[in-house]
Amino acid sequence: MAKLTQKDVENNVFKQAYDGEELRRAKYAYLSKTVKDKRLKKIFKVFEMTAQSHLAELRQEMQKLDIK
């Protein structure tokens, strides 16, 4: 069985983190558009923006590590 290199582990971890954060961003975007309660709508919008910020941070780190 082949061993994973450090680079392989980094690639997998960052890609999984990115995919998970993208799913969260999409979920909160959907919820912020569909809920009627204004307080919840605002909370979900903040969560969506936070996830978007996390995606930007992940993209920046992935670029530094040459992860595509």
The total of structural domains in the chain comes to 1
Within 1-68, strands assigned E span none
Distance of CA 50 to the CA centre of its chain: 9
Q: What is the pTM of this model?
A: 0.87
Is residue 4 very low, low, confident or very high in pLDDT (cuts 50, 70, 90)? confident
Any domain includes 50: yes
Any domain includes 38: yes
Any domain includes 68: no
pLDDT tens string 32-65: 999 999 999 999 999 999 999 999 999 999 999 9
∠ CA 21-27-45, rounded to 5°? 90
Any domain includes 43: yes
Any domain includes 39: yes
Domain hosting residue 56, numbered range: 9-63
